A and B are shown apart, each in its own frame.
Chain A
Amino acid sequence: MRWPVLARRDQVLRGGQPLAFGVGLVVALAVGVFLLLGSGHDPLRVYARMFDASLGDPRAWSVTLNRAVPLGLAGLAVAVAGSMGLWNIGAEGQIMAGAMGAAWVARIGGGWPGPVLVTAMLAAAVVGGGLLALGPAIARARIGVNEIITTLMLNEVAIRLVQWLVHGRWKDPGSHNFPLAPMLPDNGRLPTLFERAHLGVVLAGIVIALFGLAVSRTAWGYELRVAGSSGATARYAGISLKRKILTVMVLSGGVAGFAGGVELSGNADRITEGLSNGFGFAGIIVAALALMRPSGVAAVALLFGAVQIGGQSIQTMGVSSSVSTILQALILFGAIAAGVLGRYRIQMVAGDTVETPSTGVES
Chain B
Amino acid sequence: MRRSLFGLLAVVLGLSLVAASCGSDDDSSTKAAFIYVGPVGDAGWTYAHDQGRLAAAAETGVETAFVETVPEGTADFGNYARDFIEQGFNLIIGTSFGYMDDMEALAEEFPDVVFDHVSGYKANGTNFGNTFGRMYEPRYLSGMVAGSATSSDLIGYVAAFPIPEVIRGINAFTLGVREVNPDAQVEVVWTSTWFDPVVEGDSAQAMLDKGADVIAMHQDSTAAGEKAEAAGARWVAYNSDMSAHAPAAHLTAPVWNWGPRYTEIIGQATDGTYEGGYYWGSMADGVVDLAPIAADVDAAVKAAVAERKQQIIDGSFHPFQGPINAQDGSVYVAAGDVLDDGTMLSMDVFVEGVIGSLG
* Residues of chain A whose beta carbon lies under 8 Å from any beta carbon of chain B: 53, 63, 66-67, 160, 163, 167-168, 175-179, 183, 267-270, 272-275, 277, 309, 312-313, 315-318, 320-322
A67→B75 contact, CB < 8 A:
yes
A53 nearest CB neighbor, chain B only: B83
B75→A316 contact, CB < 8 A:
no
Tell me the bound Cα distance from A176 to B346 in angstroms. 5
**Shortest distance in angstroms between A128's beta carbon and chain B's nearest beta carbon?**
18
B67→A321 contact, CB < 8 A:
yes
A270 nearest CB neighbor, chain B only: B101
A315→B73 contact, CB < 8 A:
no
Tell me the bound Cα distance from A119 to B161 in angstroms. 34
Q: Which of A53, A66, A183 is in CB contact (< 8 Å) with B101?
A: A183
**Residues of A with C-beta under 8 A to B83:** 53, 312-313, 316
**Residues of B with C-beta under 8 A to A183:** 101
Tell me the bound Cα distance from A194 to B80 in angstroms. 19
Of B68, B71, B73, B105, chain A has the most CB atoms within 10 Å of the CB of: B73
A309→B121 contact, CB < 8 A:
no
Q: List 5 A-B pairs, minimum CB-CB distance, nearest first.
A: A274-B73, A272-B73, A269-B101, A176-B346, A315-B67
B97→A178 contact, CB < 8 A:
yes
**Residues of B with C-beta under 8 A to A313:** 79, 83
Count how many chain B residues have C-beta atoms less than 8 Å from C-beta atoms of the other chain. 35
A267→B87 contact, CB < 8 A:
no
Tell me the bound Cα distance from A179 to B163 in angstroms. 7
Q: Quick one: given A269-B101, A269-B102, A316-B33, are A63 and B163 in contact (CB under 8 Å)? A: no
**Residues of A with C-beta under 8 A to B102:** 269
**Residues of B with C-beta under 8 A to A66:** 75
Of A168, A178, A315, chain B has the most CB atoms within 10 Å of the CB of: A178
Beyond the given A268-B73, A277-B76, A318-B65, could you list 11 further A-B residue pairs with CB under 8 A, ordered by the A residue number?
A177-B347, A178-B121, A269-B101, A269-B102, A272-B98, A273-B73, A274-B72, A309-B79, A312-B76, A313-B79, A321-B68
A168→B121 contact, CB < 8 A:
no
Tell me the bound Cα distance from A310 to B118 in angstroms. 27
Q: Which of B33, B79, B163 is in CB contact (< 8 Å) with A177?
A: B163
Is B284 among interface residues, defined by CB-CB distance under 8 A?
A: no
The binding surface of chain B is classed by DSSP as loop
Tell me the bound Cα distance from A320 to B97 in angstroms. 22
Residues 2-39 of B contacting A (Cβ, < 8 Å): 33, 39
B120 nearest CB neighbor, chain A only: A178
B348→A177 contact, CB < 8 A:
yes
**Residues of B with C-beta under 8 A to A267:** 74-75
Q: Quick one: given A163-B192, A274-B74, are A315 and B80 in contact (CB under 8 Å)? A: yes
**Residues of B with C-beta under 8 A to A315:** 67-68, 80
Tell me the bound Cα distance from A312 to B87 in angstroms. 14
B101 nearest CB neighbor, chain A only: A269
Tell me the bound Cα distance from A224 to B164 in angstroms. 52
B347 nearest CB neighbor, chain A only: A177
B97 nearest CB neighbor, chain A only: A178
Q: Mark B150-171, 1 if CB is under 8 A from A, else 0.
A: 0000000000011110000000
Tell me the bound Cα distance from A79 to B69 in angstroms. 30
Tell me the bound Cα distance from A43 to B79 in angstroms. 22
A278 nearest CB neighbor, chain B only: B71
Tell me the bound Cα distance from A320 to B36 in angstroms. 12
**Residues of B with C-beta under 8 A to A312:** 67, 76, 79-80, 83
**Residues of A with C-beta under 8 A to B71:** 274, 277
B73→A178 contact, CB < 8 A:
no
Q: Quick one: given A277-B74, A316-B33, A318-B65, are A176 and B121 in contact (CB under 8 Å)? A: yes
Tell me the bound Cα distance from A225 to B68 in angstroms. 44
Q: Which of A163, A167, A176 is in CB contact (< 8 Å) with B164?
A: A176
**Residues of A with C-beta under 8 A to B359:** 167-168
Of A63, A177, A268, A269, chain B has the most CB atoms within 10 Å of the CB of: A177
**Residues of B with C-beta under 8 A to A272:** 72-73, 98
Is B84 among interface residues, defined by CB-CB distance under 8 A?
A: yes
A168 nearest CB neighbor, chain B only: B359
